[in-house]
């Protein structure tokens, strides 16, 4: 099975995660996919293949050389984002892309537009996999899984390519921030690993946001509006006052690179009670801590104006910047950098403006940079992936494995 056939098979599985179920894996489709992958890994010749009760798939490709080498791992996630449906994905290959808009769905006139997504023009002449405009594609992260499995199959079929012991893992629920929660680092037994979960070709990442979730609740007092003077407290208006006190340009749509932000992700309210959920992000740990303190400061101002019961704040840290755990072992980034160069890919080291399983895993003792899959526009109907980018990602995995001896 080639990488494209493998990928198209994988996206046919419905594996959307759901944070509301409070189960692991959060949806049954992920376990079905995990079992299918385990069977496939056994069929191509991997050893120690298992799926645990939480849906984590692990397997081993034994070393094929006598030299004592570090054990490295490759990791990708089973689930797709709940931001858009991943059910009944109808992927198709646009052959020899002509550099123009791609009509994803004629009936609904859904276009993958070069005006909105100009970066697609760089793939003119390549074969590109797209959606039918009604679902996401699932390249995040089924492309990563396909690239890992295809790379392992290649190494098995080419025993002249010498490598040390390789461990592989496929995790559930990464998209809802729980992919590393039940990951047994000791059982995995790798010295370090790479998540194959990045975006465009060449991406190599070992920095990510520090992240927190903030829940702010505002409490009002409802009175008939005709008789409300000096009596009513409208929690919606109080919530609006709070959000207007935040810096208006420190939001996702106004920031890039290393710039952090506050992001309102949901609001639910009436006169009596309004709840706002924010995510807080910053690469710099000190600025991250100041952002959380700023939230508390603004809540205190609301309380001072409207009364001690007018607002409450709950903040929960989600993950931290893995840079502090990877810099002491920077050679693992250098190894991936060289692997990319040797297969003709220009490395693009940049910070992740988000999270990855690798962040939590790095803090659990498994340093874990992130390598590209080749995909674009994750989590939505305009997601696509050029086939040559997938093939290059597979080659990078193979090259990392065969260059491993240089990292001792």
Average pLDDT over residues 114-123: 96
Same domain, 179 and 285: no
For position 32, what pLDDT does the model report? 98
For position 66, what pLDDT does the model report? 79
- From 319, 338, 365, the end of a domain falls on 319
Active site residue 161: no
Average pLDDT, the chain: 95
Per-residue pLDDT of 209-252, as tens digits, reads 999 999 999 999 999 999 999 999 999 999 999 999 999 999 99
Q: Rounded to whole angstroms, how far apart are CA atoms 153 and 175?
A: 27
256 three-class SS: coil
Per-residue pLDDT of 139-186, as tens digits, reads 999 999 999 999 999 999 999 999 999 999 999 999 998 999 999 999
3-state secondary structure 88-138: CCCCEEECCCCCCCEEEECCCCEEECCCCCHHHHHHCCCCEEECCCCCCCC
Same domain, 140 and 186: yes
Same domain, 157 and 52: yes
Active site residue 79: yes
CATH number, domain containing residue 392: 3.40.630.10
Among candidate residues 140, 147, 173, 174, the one labeled active-site is 174
Same domain, 284 and 364: no
- From 319, 347, 363, the end of a domain falls on 319
Instruction: Classify residue 47 as exposed, middle or buried by CB count within 10 Å of its CB (0-12, 13-18, 19+).
Output: exposed
Total number of domains constituting the chain: 2
Same domain, 380 and 403: yes
Same domain, 21 and 121: yes
Containing H/E element for 37?
Answer: helix 28-44
Average pLDDT over residues 329-343: 97
Q: What does the DSSP 8-state code read for residue 12?
A: T
For position 146, what pLDDT does the model report? 98
CATH number, domain containing residue 216: 3.30.70.360
- From 256, 286, 319, the end of a domain falls on 319
For position 357, what pLDDT does the model report? 87
Same domain, 262 and 389: no
For position 317, what pLDDT does the model report? 94
Same domain, 254 and 374: no
Helices assigned H by DSSP within 189-316: 235-245, 285-306
For position 172, what pLDDT does the model report? 97
Range of the domain at 232: 210-319
Containing H/E element for 261?
Answer: strand 261-269
Same domain, 218 and 329: no
Pair 117, 382: CB distance under 8 Å: yes
Only one residue has tokens 């959307």, namely: 16
Confidence of residue 405 (pLDDT cuts 50, 70, 90): low
Same domain, 125 and 248: no
Among candidate residues 40, 79, 173, 197, the one labeled active-site is 79
Same domain, 113 and 236: no
DSSP string across 285-339: HHHHHHHHHHHHHHHHHHHHHH-TTSEEEEEEEEE--THHHHGGGTHHHHHHHHH
For position 344, what pLDDT does the model report? 98
Per-residue pLDDT of 69-102, as tens digits, reads 999 999 999 999 999 999 999 999 999 999 999 9
Residue 406 clears pLDDT 60, i.e. is over it = no
| Token digits of residue 62 | 């034994």
Task: Indicate the Cα dihedral angle 398, 403, 405, 408, nearest 10°.
Answer: -110
Per-residue pLDDT of 29-44, as tens digits, reads 999 999 999 999 999 9
For position 354, what pLDDT does the model report? 79
For position 170, what pLDDT does the model report? 98
Q: Rounded to whole angstroms, how far apart are CA atoms 248 and 311?
A: 21
Same domain, 84 and 132: yes
The answer, as to whether pTM is greater than 0.85, is yes
Residue 118 clears pLDDT 90, i.e. is over it = yes
Pair 119, 376: CB distance under 8 Å: yes
Q: Rounded to whole angstroms, how far apart are CA atoms 134 and 150?
A: 28
Confidence of residue 115 (pLDDT cuts 50, 70, 90): very high
């Amino acid at each position: 099975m080639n990488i494209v056939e493998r990928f198209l098979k994988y996206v046919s599985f419905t594996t959307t995660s759901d944070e509301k179920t409070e189960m692991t894996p959060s949806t049954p489709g992920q376990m079905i996919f995990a079992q299918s992958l385990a069977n496939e890994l056994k069929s191509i010749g991997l050893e120690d293949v298992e799926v645990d009760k939480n849906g984590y798939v692990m397997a081993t490709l034994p070393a094929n050389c006598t030299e004592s080498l570090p054990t490295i791992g490759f990791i990708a996630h089973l689930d797709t984002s709940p931001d858009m449906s991943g059910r009944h994905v109808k992927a198709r290959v646009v052959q020899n892309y002509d550099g123009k808009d791609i009509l994803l769905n004629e009936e609904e006139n859904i276009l993958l537009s070069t005006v909105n997504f100009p970066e697609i023009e760089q793939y003119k002449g390549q074969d590109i996999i797209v959606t039918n405009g009604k679902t996401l594609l699932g390249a995040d992260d089924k492309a990563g899984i396909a690239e890992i499995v295809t790379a392992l199959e290649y190494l098995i079929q080419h025993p002249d390519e010498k490598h040390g012991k390789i461990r592989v893992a496929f995790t559930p629920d990464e998209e809802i921030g729980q992919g590393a929660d039940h990951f047994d680092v000791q059982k995995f037994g790798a010295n370090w690993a790479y998540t194959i979960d990045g975006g465009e070709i060449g991406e190599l990442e070992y920095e990510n946001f520090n992240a927190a979730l903030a829940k702010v609740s505002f409490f009002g007092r409802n009175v008939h509006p005709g008789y409300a003077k000096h009596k009513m407290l409208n929690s919606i208006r109080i919530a609006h006052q709070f959000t207007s006190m935040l810096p208006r340009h420190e939001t996702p749509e106004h920031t890039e690179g290393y710039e952090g932000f506050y992001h309102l992700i949901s609001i639910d309210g009436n006169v009596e009670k309004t709840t706002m959920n924010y995510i807080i992000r910053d690469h710099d740990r000190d600025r991250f801590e100041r952002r959380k303190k700023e939230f508390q400061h603004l809540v205190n101002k609301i309380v001072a104006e409207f009364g001690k019961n007018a607002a409450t704040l709950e903040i929960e840290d989600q993950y931290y910047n893995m840079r502090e755990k990877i810099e002491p072992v920077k050679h693992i980034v250098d190894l991936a950098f060289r692997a990319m160069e040797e297969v003709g890919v220009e490395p693009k080291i940049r910070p992740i403006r988000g999270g990855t399983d690798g962040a939590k895993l790095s803090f659990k003792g498994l340093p874990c940079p992130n390598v590209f899959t080749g995909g674009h526009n994750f989590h939505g109907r305009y997601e696509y992936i050029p086939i040559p980018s997938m093939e290059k990602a597979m080659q990078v995995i193979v090259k990392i494995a065969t260059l491993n001896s240089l990292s001792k």
